[in-house]
Amino acid sequence: MAINKPHKLSSAQRDVLKNLVEGRPWDSHLFDRSAHGGATSTRMALQRLGYLKSGAITPDGREAFHNATAMSSPAMTQAAL
C-alpha cells in the first residue's frame, strides 16, 4: 500500500499561496511578462495538487502553505539542527 508523501512546496508555489492567504490576487508578486508566463505552470501545478480551485485557495492549499511556513521558520530550522 502506497503512502502519500506531503508535497514540498517550491518557493514559487509558496509565493502564490501566500498571496491568496493574505487576500491578494495570486499573481500580485510578479512584475514582468516573463514572470507571468512562468507562473502559469506554477498555478497549474497547484491546481493539480488540489491547492487551488477556480483561482481560489482550497483548505488543502491553506494547510500546505501553513505547513511549509512552519517548517521554514527559524525556530524549526534550529530544532532540526
Query: pTM value?
Result: 0.77
pLDDT, one tens digit per residue, over 41-81 is 999 999 999 999 998 999 999 999 999 888 765 544 444 43
**Domain containing 49: what range?**
11-80
User: Could you tell me the end-to-end alpha-carbon distance of the chain, in angstroms, rounded to an integer?
Assistant: 32
Position 57 in a domain: yes
Residue 26 lies in a domain: yes
The number of folded domains in the chain is: 1
Which pLDDT value is given to residue 79?
A: 44
Map grid coordinates 491578494 to a residue: 24
In a domain, 3, yes or no: no
- Domain assignment present for residue 74? The answer is yes
Domain membership flag for residue 21: yes
Supply the DSSP string of 7-39, one letter for each residue.
PPPPHHHHHHHHHHHTTS-TTTT--SHHHHHHH
